Every structure is written in C-alpha cells, then in structure tokens.
Amino acid sequence: MALNGVRDMPSSVWPTLRRQLRADLPPEEFRTWFHPLRVASEDAERLVLEAPNSRFVAALEEGFRPIVDWAIADLKGPTFEVLFKSSDSIKETARPAPRPPKAPAADDDAASGSSINPQYRFDSFVIGNSNRFACAASQAVAEKPGIAYNPLFLYGGVGLGKTHLLHAIGNRLRRTLPGTRVVYLAAEDFVNDLITSIRFERMPAFRERYRTIDVLLVDDIQFLARKERSQEEFFHTFNVLYTRQKQIIVTSDAQPRDLADMEERLRSRFGSGLLADIQAPDLETKVAILQRKARQMQSLDLDTDVALFIARQVHSNVRELEGLLNRVTAFASLSGARLDLDFAKEALRDVLPEQDRPVSPAQIVKLVAHHYGLKVREIKSKSNSRQITYPRQIAMYLCKRLTQMSYPEIGRLFNGKHHSTVMYSVEQIERRRAEDERLAAQLERFTRQLG
C-alpha cells in the first residue's frame, strides 16, 4: 500500500496520516486524541492504532471516525482502513472498521450525500437563546424544502453551529425524504470543482451536477468573495435552482449586506430569503453543550461546577469549548482520576495561563466607563441620566456574566443599588443583545478585552 500511487508498502503510513489529521483538526484536539496513539500493526490494507484504554477508543470512534476517513481520502492514494484498539485488547481480533467512501470523480453524481456528517443532527444540537431562531428555521426548511424559506441564509461567528445545522438539515432530509437529491459542500469545494472543470473542459457536467439537485447546502459562502468566475457560476446555479423551487441554504460569517467583496446581485439573492443569525451562546447554553457532549462522547455525567468552569474559559467559539472538554476528559481517562473541579483546573493549567487571574469588577467598570467617555465615579453615581444609565446597565450585565458576583454584591458595587435594579438591568441588556447586532458585537468585544 502506498500514498502516492506506489504499491510498495512504506515503513508506515501513520506519520503521513498524522500530518493530514494535524492539518484538519484544532491543535488541542489533535494533541489530546491523536498524539497518544501508537502503531500496533499494519499491512497493505489496514492500520491498527493502539489507544490507552477502551473509553479512549470509544471516544475516537464516536467523535473522530468520519474525520479519519476523510483524512485518508484526502491523501489521494489507495484506500486503507484504520482500527482503534485499546492496550488491554491489542491482541484480540478487531471488527473491521467501515471503509471510507470513495471520493467521487469530477463527473460523478454529487447528490449522494456522502459528505453529510451523520453525527450532526437536530437532536444533538443544543438550543439556547443565541440560536433558537436559526434552529427553528432550519427545521422548517428540512420539513418542507423549497417551500418554507428559500433561500435560508445562516450567519454568525466561527464555531457557533452553522455547519452543524447544515448537516442536520441534510440528515433529516435523508431520513424523511430518502429520494431527495441533497448536496452539501463548502464554498471552497465549489471553487475547486469549477477550476478543475474549466481545466479539463467539463463545464457541461459541472453545471449538470449542481443544477439538477433538490437541496443545495453551501458552507462559508464568503469564500466566493473576489472570485468573479465562481460568483458568476454560483449566481446562475442559484437562479436555476430557485426557479425550479429547489431549496438553497447557505452559511456565512456575516450577513449579506456586509459581504463587501461579493457581487450586488448575489447579495440581493441571499437577502431575498430568510436571514437567521447565530450569536455567541450564553453561559447556561455553554454548560448544556458541555454536559451533552460529555454524555455523547464519553458516557460521562459532567459535574455542573466542572462544566461552569470550562464554560467560563471560552466566550464564543463552541469548537474551542469542546476542545477544552476533550482535553479534560482525556486526561481523566488516561490517569484514571475522578473528573472534579480541581482536576479540571489542573488539566487546563498549561493552556489557560490566565485562569488564576479572573476578571475583576473594577476592570469591567473601568473598561465600560472609558469606552463611553465617563469617569468611574460617574458610572457608579446615583445619576439616572440616559448617558450614564445605559453604560451602567452594560457594566452590571458584564459583572453578572463574567464574575461570580451575586445581584446584591453588584448592587453594592454601584453605590448601593437594590438587587432588583441589577436584575432589571441585566435582563434589559440581555433582551437588547438579542435584538441589536451592534450591541451584541460590542459586548463580545468587551468580553474579549477583559479575557
């Protein structure tokens, strides 16, 4: 077996596969789950990797099997399979892992849906105030494609769940409408496919592939920016599908009007449908995500205090949140220790050097006052003028979200305000945050500056 079309068996394919996985995964996930693996055996068709224990193997199979299969396909060589086995059962005969699907040729039917990740389903998506609308819209589209909302445009920051919802739509359609022709791809893949089709004079097949489907799921549409030919082809593909009442769902890191390097006619098409944003999750949602992920991957009931500690380390990106969880659970699994709060702090000590320096209320008040051109004594004063009340409410909100302070403690910080006043202020900012994108973005900037 070889990686570049050479049939002679190299000394090991594991170093090459490791490099591919390192490129595909966040650094913390790679170090936590793949650095400990060792080659147990290999031949021309199979690579057996030794993991520390059976729980580690279960986590790899549950969380990373599709990623490993895709990495093998990306090597562009003869296919082989990877088996994970625990150290205590390395001599037993393992059940062969499923072979990764063969990558389709440029002129194959792209509607097979093979690139849809079966793990990303609606029932594994944690719903909170930050994503409730986007999830509901995605479910409606999955129930009535081409009828409910077309196009559906999901936008938000990195790692907040846009890709999860795309795959969830695809999985729901494959289950409820098995004859539906669904294509999921990243916008970068659309560009690469177009380049290949132009180079080898396959444009008729390219257009046939994308314009004869029922549902098109495109991730990270902002990648088409400044690519004129790609935008032109996508525009015509969009028009054909839309005219035929075929469903189109795209995701982006910004709403259509903010895609500055995208043609106006495309931005207009995107804006003609339903726009649904996904914001950074609140603390409670992050805790729910961590606890569900721990149950799914590790069959572990994560203590609430541990989940709260991890949740407070990441302000927005859910992938980073899961990376920290993976590190903590892997350390506990490898050492056989109980995963309590003290253990979690120790496991994350090297990757969170600031964790012993929590955000202080004084930092929050000073930052907010400076941003709004106020003095600290003014924002803490008894004045109820609009120019002071609004920044004060924001400072109270940040104190509640970023510190361990209770409502009465926050009230005392602001010149003896009653705890009900603090509760009202926090609720007001929470409500406005959900309605006002500029406020949401500013709160996120404050959080990053304080972190």
CA atoms of 13 and 46, how far apart (whole Å) = 10
pLDDT of 234 over the 70 cut? yes
pLDDT of 97 over the 80 cut? no
pLDDT grade for 143, boundaries at 50, 70 and 90: very high
CA atoms of 118 and 33, how far apart (whole Å) = 20
Mean pLDDT over each residue of the chain, to the nearest integer: 83
| pLDDT, position 88 | 65
| pLDDT, position 359 | 77
Peptide bond into 151 cis (omega under 30): yes
Token couple for 223: 């990648």
pLDDT of 114 over the 60 cut? no
| pLDDT, position 145 | 94
| pLDDT, position 45 | 80
pLDDT of 84 over the 80 cut? yes
pLDDT of 9 over the 50 cut? no
Q: Which residue has the tokens 């109820």?
A: 384
Mean pLDDT across the stretch 398-411?
86
CA atoms of 220 and 159, how far apart (whole Å) = 12
Mean pLDDT across the stretch 124-130?
89
Whether the pTM exceeds 0.85: the reply is no
| pLDDT, position 350 | 72
pLDDT of 278 over the 70 cut? yes
Highest mean pLDDT among 76-80, 262-266, 347-351: 262-266
| pLDDT, position 451 | 64
| pLDDT, position 383 | 85
Token couple for 253: 């890191």
Query: Does residue 10 come out as left (phi exceeding 0), alpha (psi in the -120 to 50 range) or beta?
Result: beta
Percent of the chain residues topping a pLDDT of 70? 89
Measured at the CA of 233, the angle between CA 229 and CA 237, to 5 degrees, comes to 165
Which of 9-13, 19-23, 105-109, 268-272 shows the lowest mean pLDDT across its residues? 105-109
In order of 194, 213, 401, the CA distances from 201 in angstroms are: 10, 22, 56
pLDDT of 93 over the 80 cut? no
| pLDDT, position 16 | 86
* Structural domains of the chain ordered from first start: 14-103 (3.30.300.180), 111-278 (3.40.50.300), 295-347 (no CATH), 361-450 (1.10.1750.10)
| pLDDT, position 89 | 62
pLDDT of 385 over the 70 cut? yes
**CB neighbours (10 Å) of residue 355?**
13
Higher model confidence: residue 160 or residue 29? 160
CA atoms of 260 and 193, how far apart (whole Å) = 24
